[in-house]
Amino acid sequence: MQSPMILPHTYLTSDFSAPGDARGIPAPSEAKIERRAIVVKGDEVAVHESANGGWKLRTLECTGTVFLGPWKGCEVWALDAESFTGVTGGARVELHNDIRMRSLREIAPALTKRERSLALSAVGMLTWHRDARACARCGSSVKATRHGWSLTCESGHENFPRTDPAVITLVRDTRDRVLLAKNHRFTGGMVSALAGFVEPGEDLEDALKREVHEETGLVVSDLEYFGSQPWPFPRSIMIAFTSRLAEDADTDITLQREELASARWFTREELAKALEKGELRLPPPTSIARSMIEAWRKGRLL
Ligand SMILES: [Zn+2]
């Protein structure tokens, strides 16, 4: 199904094209090609300001821990600034010529699609390298194999990167109002669609219905796939659905107070007024939650 998105999903990038090994895992070529590295520190990447005031990835002439693929005639790697003591080392990256370290969440919209794809892989893979220091099967130490795409222990157990699926839904009632909630973690009056992680044994639809019911007591149905968004902070993919309050179901909300500070139904006019007054704000334009909300505001949801 063609999703009715009206904002670009900044993190939705799928043009990854690297030479691969027999399992399709990216591998550098044998040719003498210049090797450059994207420098990563937590969720920050090294960038420089472009002529038009935007941001461009600022790579260094070296290899890194994880091979990412070809870009601009080079082979590009991901390099963890914390483990790199050569030219720029940790915090000193900030001081090196024109390099700035900026949060990928903040600068992603300014990057090209290919830059975003590389930067997302770099942040996601290096986060995994930092967090997965022991073999998941036997607990012994691991070292990078397959050019960083696996971590292998002394017993030969090969560990691969994991992605945690999370679901998010914009629920509508029969009056075409939407349910927006304020999570305790949100700041500055932000409200968003309901979301949660998928548990073992659940399909996406079950996970979504469970999350909505746990957090609000509401029963939803008519799930329609909207789109997905990789979110390597630290290792999720957000899978978005629109949904409807189940037929004859109560619109009364029973708030799960440990998770949510508030949740309520909004008409388009009520939301517009609250945003105008500055009482509420929506998630960033780069998020799939915002894409769904904007599609609803423009009457573009099915
Ligand atoms: Zn092991």
pLDDT in the model for residue 151: 96
CA-to-CA separations, 45 to 37, 52, 277, in angstroms, rounded: 11, 19, 35
How far, in Å, from the CA of 133 to the mean position of ligand 1? Answer: 11
| Same domain membership, residue 25 and residue 110 | yes
| Same domain membership, residue 177 and residue 123 | no
How far, in Å, from the CA of 120 to the mean position of ligand 1? Answer: 28
75-86 pLDDT, tens digit per residue, is 999 999 876 544
How far, in Å, from the CA of 65 to the mean position of ligand 1? Answer: 20
How far, in Å, from the CA of 136 to the mean position of ligand 1? Answer: 7
**CATH code at 42?**
3.90.79
Dist CA 134 CA 128 (whole Å) = 11
**CATH code at 284?**
3.90.79.10
| Same domain membership, residue 73 and residue 185 | no
The answer to whether residue 302 sits within a structural domain is no
Tokens 């370290």 -> residue: 101
List helix spans (H) across the chain.
Answer: 104-107, 113-131, 204-216, 268-276, 288-297
The conformation of residue 198, written as its DSSP 8-state character, comes to P
Number of domains in the chain: 3
Contact 172, 220 (CB under 8 A): no
State which residues form the domain around 274.
164-297
The conformation of residue 192, written as its DSSP 8-state character, comes to B
pLDDT in the model for residue 94: 43
- Which of 146, 161, 176 terminates a domain? The answer is 161
Confidence of residue 13 (pLDDT cuts 50, 70, 90): very low
SS3 content of the chain, % helix, strand, coil (to 5): 25, 35, 45
How far, in Å, from the CA of 54 to the mean position of ligand 1? Answer: 44
How many CB atoms sit inside 10 A of residue 80's CB? 21
Confidence of residue 8 (pLDDT cuts 50, 70, 90): very low
- Which of 114, 146, 161 terminates a domain? The answer is 161
- From the list 166, 190, 202, the residue with the least C-alpha distance to 279 is 190
| Listed residues: CB within 5 A of ion ligand 1 | 135, 137-138, 153, 155, 157
pLDDT in the model for residue 17: 53
239-290 pLDDT, tens digit per residue, is 999 999 998 888 899 999 999 999 999 999 999 999 999 999 999 888 899 9
In the three-class reduction of DSSP (H, G, I as helix; E, B as strand; rest coil), residue 61 is classed as: coil
